[in-house]
Structure 1
Amino acid sequence: MSVDPAPTAPSPLSAPAPRRPADTPVAAPAPATAAPGPAPAPAAAAFHPPGGRAAWFAWSLGVAVYVLAVVHRTSLGVAGLDASARFGIGASALSTFSILQVLVYAGMQVPVGLLVDRIGPRRVLLLGVALMSAGQLAFAFSTAFAPALASRAVLGCGDAMTFISVLRVAARWFPAARNPFVVQLTGLIGTGGNLVTTVVLAQALHAAGWSATFGTIALTGVPVFVVVLVLLREAPPGAPAPVRHESPRLPVGQQIRAAWSEPGTRLGMWVHFTTAFPASAFGLLWGLPYLVEGQGMSRAGAGGMLSLLVLSGMAFGLLFGRLVSRTAASRLPIAFTVLAVTALCWTAALAWPDGHPPLWLLVVLMLVMGSNGPASLIGLDYARAYNPAERMGTASGIANMGGFIGSMITLLGIGVLLDALADPGSDGYGAHAYQVAFCFQLLPLLLGTAMILRLRRKLDR
């Protein structure tokens, strides 16, 4: 498992005395964390996004791009075993595909945030669609490891441009109190792309073959590009010009430092890091091999389990969106609950004798991991609430790096351990190898939890 306006009710976390969130009502028109420069014009301060049908229409166009991005991003998750056979590679090399894609995604978040702040989300979305389609088309016809790897990097670059752009469109069109719900709904609908991958793509891959399947996904970007180009409006009629046109533009380095120096941005990044990566690493690459090779499931059974994870995420997205919209005080309790239950379920599954937990425990694990993606969006809510509008994209990009950095570390760690634990002469990996390798994810889980606790205390001060 890139911003959105503030929750309706303040909490001790959302309104500390010395560091008030950017969207908490105050007497003065300028937020406490505003960047240096002249204050926005009174018209900008008085404007309230209207919401309504036009807002939902604009948002739906952006979400269409995000769904496409999720399909591109997770397409390798059901093709891991096929990719190993096609390119003749082992677990470490296979994990490199997803690691590079995630590395590019994470590394692009701050540049993309700056682009959104400076040229607007519509142009960034169009560029993202073009890059994703080009990368996926090259991947469809690659027969060697190196060009296939390069194509996934291009795909990751385009993918990185989608989520932050959609959230900026939502922030311009919807009232502040509505945004936490809209953000969760964005993640929920985007999860539908994952469902397409696990259900449709898995079947198409074996029915139509590698090149036809991935080539079709690439060409899907053409109509999406045209629709966004023709119909998407970044802001409602009567909206004031963005702040970037009303005040001197901050140098890039200064804008990044200003966003990073805000503890709310860093707290958001670590919340995203810790809550997102378990389900992300599982869904991006290692879920299907773990269930098929490690647990002895059929491909159809493993696909059903991954679909359960996706459906669970959609349900949790609705629940968390409602809770966070009602009160900001629910943000960290939700995150800590998700972390605790995820760690508990993985510990139980990995500690099971012989590395073969019962089916009911695997089902519970899928349901629990479904909460990871929706919980990670809480991190973006912190980044949005503690930064002024003119650096929303930059702060959201920093926060959105977290989960993908955690995923990258976990993907690599599991792949290296699997290769180290593989039986000599064996083509696959046994249950014991998966049992030990998947213990690696507990390390970033502990690190992230410790950083959240540290930054929460700093924010309270």
Structure 2
Amino acid sequence: MTPERVQLHDIGRRRAWCIWAVAVAVYVLAVFHRSSLGVAGLIATERFDISGTQLAFFTVLQLVVYAGMQIPVGVLLDRYGSRVLLIAGLVTMTLGQLLFAFTTSFGLAVVARAILGAGDAMVFVSVLRLVTAWFLVRQGAMITQLTGQIGQMGSIVAAAPLTLALHSLGWTKTFAFASSLGVVLLVGVLVVVKDSPYQRSEPVRIKVRALARSVQLVWGNPGTRLGMWSHFTSQFSVTVFTLLWGFPFLVRGQGLSAEMAGTLLTVMTGWIVVSGIVLGKLVTRYPFYRSWIVLSIVAAMATVWTVVLLWNGPAPLPLLVVLVCLTGSGGPASMVGFDLARSFTPEESLGRATSLVNIGGFLASLLTMALIGVILDWREPRGASAYDLGDFRVALCAQYVFWIGGASQILRYRRKAIAHLHRVHPGAVEKMQRGEPFVHPGFADNEGV
């Protein structure tokens, strides 16, 4: 073993779980910050004296900043490691949320949410990097699923507890307290988190002139693209449903009460956790069929949406329960994209690969949100208060564009990825077909396509 790979700590044991727990807590906080405006929307319109369009701009801006930061964050992650990026993310989110707590200016509030999005962008990929470093390959798929599902608890905490705090403490105290949570977790990261169980004499150094080449090389690997298109195709529907159009569709389109619509969203959250555990076991057991598992879930989502949209009138409640559950399954399915990229990428390039994969789902979500909004405005110029089931039926068909396009790309890059493994890593495909995980041995220029 070379000096750079001297093992200092056990892999997949107590220390690994402690590091993961602290890192996941940071991710929960990031999701909480990301989702906090959802329950504070009406108060925000009064505080900043803004319209509904301006309020929606907050969410879109955060997602744009998040997606736009992924490649720089991936490069920095490979250069400095997860610990530094988690610290930077916590500091940035804390400052952003603190500014958001005290400002009454719409312009400064926009700046605050942009800062928050930049900090959020550093967290998730850093946590996944720690999962890869500290857990055994056979543990990786399940821990990745648990990371995603536990992280979503932040959106639950941002619901009822934050609503109560806003009404009892007010805007400034509530968001100032929320920002202080970052200081507590910052201490935890400083004390507990380490980048790797191995001793490394030198970090990965990427010179500026070689930056484009390094990203191009990682992107050229068909495994990265397979992971990105898997994330792209499976994530957007659940993101669009939970962040923007799901609640209006259930209330305005399906005629449900606000309470029943909220209950269905809660059912979706619970199903996401359950399906994530099941999917983690399937992916671990059948590594060769991971992309087929993703395609099967996407097909199930598209099928139930077809039934609901073609139903004569509002769909019955049991069918809507099936709809939210299968749509929610897209969240765990999107996590498979990271596991796919991991099979094709060595540790020193994993930050860039993970970030490129992460762009996929958020790009698809932004495009779908925008396209649905454009179609709704075209169908109903009077605005959101006049939307009906017919408007939503037409607008939500926008999803099929991204499902069909994404699925075709998954099939394309699955073939390329298998050919790549046969050529560069003989025996890897046969190993995965036997249900054994494939551990990537390294990275070379000839691995780009």
> Would you tell me which structure has more helix in proportion to its own residues?
2
Question: Matched residue of 1:220: which SS?
Answer: helix
Aligned 8 A contact 2:341 2:353 in 1: yes
Instruction: Give the one of 133, 150, 154 matched to 1:189.
Output: 150
Q: Which moved more, 1:167-176 or 1:288-297?
A: 288-297
Relative distance call for 1:274 and 1:242 in structure 2 (3 A) is farther
Residue in structure 1 matched with residue 399 of structure 2 by the alignment? 441
Report deviation, 1:83.
Answer: 4.8
Task: After TM superposition, list the pairs within 5 Å mapping 1:288-303 onto structure 2.
Answer: 288-303=247-262
Residue 357 of structure 2 corresponds to 399
Deviations 1:148-206 (A, max 9, x none): 33322211111111111111112221122211111111112112212223443345455
Q: Residues 232 and 98 (structure 1 numbering): CA distance in 2 closer, same or farther, change over 3 Å? A: same
Match of 2:34 in 1: 73
Partner of 1:411: 369
Q: Identify the range of structure 1 (217-226 vs 144-153) with the bigger mean alpha-carbon deviation.
A: 144-153
Give 1:265's aligned residue.
Answer: 224
* Deviation, structure 1 residue 379: 0.7
AA aligned to 1:116 is: L
Aligned to 1:386: 344
Contact 1:191 1:313 (8 Å CA) reproduced: no
Distance 2:251 2:46 in 1: 15
Instruction: Please identify, of 421-430 and 119-128, the stretch whose mean Cα deviation from structure 2 is larger.
Output: 421-430
> Alignment partner of 2:396: what SS?
helix
* Partner Cα separation in structure 1 for residue 377 and residue 168 of structure 2: 30
How do 1:216-295 and structure 2 match up within 5 A?
216-236=177-197, 239-241=198-200, 244=203, 251-295=210-254
* SS class of match (1:321): helix
8 A Cα contact 2:4 2:200, kept in partner: no
Task: Quickly say closer, same or farther: Cα 1:269–1:123, change in 2 above 3 A.
Answer: same
Give the conservation status (yes or no) of the 8 Å contact 1:281–1:411.
yes
Q: After superposition, what is the alpha-carbon deviation per residue over 1:352-374, rounded to whole angstroms, capped at 9, x for unaligned?
A: 334x2222122111111221111
Contact 2:341 2:354 in 1 (8 A): yes
Matched, 1:122 2:97: no
**Which AA in structure 2 matches 1:312?**
W
| Residues in 2 aligned to 1:247 and 1:155: alpha-carbon distance in whole angstroms | 27
Q: Is the 8 A contact 1:242 1:390 kept in 2?
A: no
Contact preservation (8 Å) 2:230, 2:294: yes
Where structure 1 has 5 or more consecutive residues not aligned to the other structure, the ranges are 1-39
> Which residue in 1 is equivalent to 2:447?
none
Tell me whether 163-172 or 217-226 shows the greater mean CA deviation: 217-226
Distance 1:147 1:428, change over 3 A: farther
2:23 partner letter: G
Say how many residue pairs are matched: 419
Are residues 401 and 418 of structure 1, via their aligned partners in 2, closer, same or farther at CA, if it must alter by over 3 Å?
Answer: same
Spell out the pairing of 1:169-180 with structure 2 (5 A cutoff): 169-180=130-141
Shift of 1:91: 5.8
Change (3 A) 1:308 1:426: closer
| Closer/same/farther in 2, CA of residues 261 and 107 from structure 1, 3 Å limit | same
- Residue 110 in 1 paired to residue 71 in 2? yes
Higher relative contact order (CA 8 A, sep 6+): 1
Q: 1:61 aligns with which of 15, 19, 22?
A: 22
Q: Please, which moves more after superposition, 430-439 or 303-312?
A: 430-439
For residues 289 and 423 of structure 1, what CA distance do their matches in structure 2 show? Answer: 16
What TM-score do the two structures reach when normalised by structure 2?
0.85
Flag the 1:345–1:171 CA change in 2: closer, same or farther, 3 A: same
Counterpart check, 1:364 vs 2:322: yes
- For 1:307, which of 266, 273, 277 is the aligned residue? 266
Q: In the alignment, what sits opposite 1:22?
A: none
Contact 1:243 1:390 in 2 (8 A): no
On the 8 A contact 1:95/1:412 being kept in 2, the answer is no
Residue deviations 1:259-294 (CA, integer Å, cap 9, x gap): 011011011100001101100111122223333333
Select between 450-459 and 415-424 the one with higher mean Cα deviation: 415-424
The Cα of 1:350 is off from its aligned counterpart by 2.1
TM-score (norm 1): 0.83
